[in-house]
Structure 1
Amino acid sequence: MPLAEAQSHWVADLLEGRCALPGREEMLDEIHTYRARTARVTSPRPGTPSRWTRRRI
């Protein structure tokens, strides 16, 4: 399982202090960008325009 192994190495590096996470604001900006990009792609009901099904999270 190469993906799980890579993830475990990354977490170990975080715990050992060999790398650091981005700042809180940078992570929140990335989350908002991702949600804005994917909000129009997914719809809870197929065939329903996404402008009527926007979720507030």
Structure 2
Amino acid sequence: MKRRSIFKIQMLNSIVCPKTKGPLIYNKKTNELISKKGKIAYPIKNGIPILLVEKSRKL
């Protein structure tokens, strides 16, 4: 059975978008961190945000 990763929202106070240095918003539906300023989404794998621009997707 596949376990869904659980992201700790408290982490949002400590991390920023590596591209824009702006805030990130957690999207529970897609399990991604969204940078509105950068118009990109970073995936979360096994509860760990993958904050690499090359692993992000454009919005």
TM-score (norm 1): 0.24
Of Structure 1 and Structure 2, which has the larger fraction of its residues in strand? 2
Of Structure 1 and Structure 2, which has the larger fraction of its residues in helix? 1
Larger Rg, first or second structure (1 or 2):
1
* Greater length-normalized contact order (CA 8 Å, ≥ 6 residues apart): 2
